[in-house]
């Protein structure tokens, strides 16, 4: 019985890695389109968003079957519970990558320096998602903690982008609507970083049985 459950856990990890890879690709393509890369298309991002949504339902069903058909011990319950939370955050990452892709067509010639820093945000966010999934599969607390620290980089870049774009709004030659769209894109990437932090925090929970929200309640 345990051998069967271990195989189910292995398949769960494979599907989580697959979902994470889809999120990474969606973020990367959205950033490339923003940079003016004509070799990629926003349609691929929208297709990935659909696939991510479907995979979320598949993984959710797999987790529920594991809970109902097997008798998982406490640590296994934590892993399955964490996986259910993580797929929700990854689904939101897919949505926000699609939101970015939808806006890219409106900002093609706007504030090159701001777009440069947004691209850096996207690359950092992709790395955070990648490392969070890797940390889950390997039960690696150190990598999960690194992801949480790396969110400071994304937040700092967002502050820099916002400062530059707000300054650009004062320039008569710039398109204010496009600048605001670019600011919204930066905000989406910042949120993706936040979701990656959520992933890392659920990794920590799967290892320790303690979630950050539990620590908050204990302090009250």
Query: Could you say which DSSP state residue 70 is in?
Result: S
- The CATH number of 2-212 is 1.20.58.220
Greatest Cα pair distance, the chain, in angstroms, is 70
Q: Where residue 217 falls among pLDDT bands split at 50, 70, 90?
A: very low
Which helix (H) or strand (E) segment holds residue 39: the answer is none
Other CB atoms closer than 10 Å to residue 5's CB: what's the count? 16
Alpha-carbon dihedral of residues 110, 112, 118, 119, nearest 10 degrees?
120
Tell me the per-residue pLDDT of 136-160, one tens digit each, with 9 for 90 and over: 999 999 999 999 999 999 999 999 9
The domain ranges of the chain are 2-212
Share of the chain above pLDDT 70, in %: 91
Residue-level pLDDT at 215: 55
Mean pLDDT of the chain: 90
Tell me the per-residue pLDDT of 89-109, one tens digit each, with 9 for 90 and over: 999 999 999 999 999 878 866
Tell me the per-residue pLDDT of 30-64, one tens digit each, with 9 for 90 and over: 999 888 888 999 999 999 999 999 999 999 999 99
Residue-level pLDDT at 213: 72
The answer to whether residues 101 and 46 touch, using CB atoms and an 8 Å cutoff, is: yes
């Amino acid at each position: 019985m345990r051998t069967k459950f271990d195989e189910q856990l292995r398949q769960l990890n494979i599907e989580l890695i697959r979902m994470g890879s889809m999120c990474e690709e969606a973020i990367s393509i959205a950033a490339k389109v923003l940079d003016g890369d004509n070799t990629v298309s926003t349609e691929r991002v929208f297709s990935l968003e659909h696939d991510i949504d479907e995979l979320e339902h598949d993984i959710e069903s797999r987790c529920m079957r594991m809970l109902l058909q097997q008798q998982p011990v406490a640590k296994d319950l934590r892993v399955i519970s964490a996986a259910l939370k993580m797929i929700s955050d990854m689904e939101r990452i897919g949505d926000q990558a699609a939101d970015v892709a939808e806006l890219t067509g409106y900002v093609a010639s706007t504030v090159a320096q701001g777009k440069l820093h947004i691209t850096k945000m996207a690359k950092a966010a992709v790395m955070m998602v990648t490392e969070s999934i890797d940390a889950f599969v390997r039960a690696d607390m150190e990598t999960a903690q690194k992801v949480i620290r790396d969110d400071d980089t994304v937040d700092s870049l967002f502050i820099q982008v916002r400062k530059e774009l707000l300054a650009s709004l004062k320039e008569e030659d710039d398109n204010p609507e496009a600048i605001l769209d670019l600011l919204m894109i930066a905000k989406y990437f910042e949120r993706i970083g936040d979701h990656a932090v959520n992933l890392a925090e659920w990794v920590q929970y799967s290892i320790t049985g303690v979630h950050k929200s539990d620590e908050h309640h204990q302090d009250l």
